[in-house]
Structure 1
């Protein structure tokens, strides 16, 4: 999903809103909590993932 959001130039905030609306957010929270992480870490994960994909697309171009 992050690749699609990156392709459409979503911000991390907008991507997180879409994830919350999609219905997978609670599963994602559970996954992160099981690894000792919290909700703030989800935002950081999304932000880093988007940035990595934006950079990779610029290098490939």
Structure 2
């Protein structure tokens, strides 16, 4: 999931590590992930293991 700062619009990307544990992705890894991203069904996300994982709604991208 991506949380955006209300004042700056800066994204804070999180990944689910375990059932109730999330980790903040560092900037370098986030940019690498974005380079792999694609748009599908109104979402921007990545494919892994044949499954699409939406990161942020496409309409929320600048």
Do the two structures share a fold, i.e. TM-score over 0.5?
Answer: no
TM-score, with structure 1 as normaliser:
0.28
Greater relative contact order (Cα < 8 A, sep 6+): 1
TM-score, with structure 2 as normaliser:
0.28
Q: Which structure has greater strand proportion?
A: 2
